[in-house]
Amino acid sequence: MANSGFQLLGYFLALGGWVGIISTTVLPQWKQSSYAGDAIIMVVALYEGLWMSCATQSTGQVQCKIFDSLLSLDVHIQTCRALMILSVLMGFIAIIVSVVGMKCTKVGDNNPKTKNRIAVAGGLLFLLAGLCTLVSVSWYATQVSYHFFDPNTPKNARYEFGSALFVGWAAAILTMLGGSFLSCSCTNDERRGQQYYRQSQPSTAREPNVKSSPPEKGEQYL
């Protein structure tokens, strides 16, 4: 029962992280302007994400523009797009695989060993999804920091970390933590089952070699 609860904890942590990965992918606040008010009076803040750039005005109106060309984007934006999409897909597959392999479900109860391996596979997929998200968000943050501290970058064109980056870091940690719980719990349970199986097997005792004495005289073999 304790192992099943550990699996449920890991699954819901990873599920929450996967929702955070989706939110990070679609949010436009990957970076926000640092000195937008010095250059444009009517604009409060400028935001930019993987898919669009937005401008928030003092009247509360938000105007967003989707990036028109894919090839004209920087390499890190294209790579971050690919990593985030891959994370979402792997997380979706991991959700289905983990449900099949968890002990609280009735699917595959006739083969517990295979069921444990399926749950471990789901946990590993969650780990990979969280790792891809972590690489994508960290790489984007590195580019923002580089351009911010570059002396050749104008002050009115500098950007800082947006809220989507922090959501992405939190989502990556939750997903990787949940995937670790799923993988470790199933692996320990399988090892215990193997040890119990080995101990329960009867040990074959060696029969002592008894030397047969020669038959006495007068005895006949039947």
- Say which CATH number the domain at 75 has: 1.20.140.150
Residue 31's Cβ-count burial label (10 Å; 0-12, 13-18, 19+) is buried
> Is the residue at 54 inside a domain?
no
> Is the residue at 139 inside a domain?
yes
Six token digits for residue 185: 């719990």
> Is the residue at 57 inside a domain?
no
> Is the residue at 37 inside a domain?
no
Distance separating alpha carbons of residues 170 and 20, to the nearest angstrom = 8
> Is the residue at 173 inside a domain?
yes
> Is the residue at 38 inside a domain?
no
Looking at the DSSP assignment, which residues form a beta bridge with residue 48? Answer: 31, 53
For residue 46, the SS3 value is strand
Mean pLDDT of 36-52: 70
Torsion of CA 94, 100, 103, 104, to 10 degrees: 100
Domain tally, the chain: 1
What domain range includes position 112? 2-27+70-197
pTM of the model: 0.78
> Is the residue at 204 inside a domain?
no
**pLDDT of amino acid 176:** 96
For 1-41, the pLDDT digits (tens) are: 447 788 889 999 999 999 999 999 999 999 998 764 454 44
> Is the residue at 216 inside a domain?
no
Mean pLDDT of 133-160: 90
Six token digits for residue 175: 């997903």
**pLDDT of amino acid 92:** 97
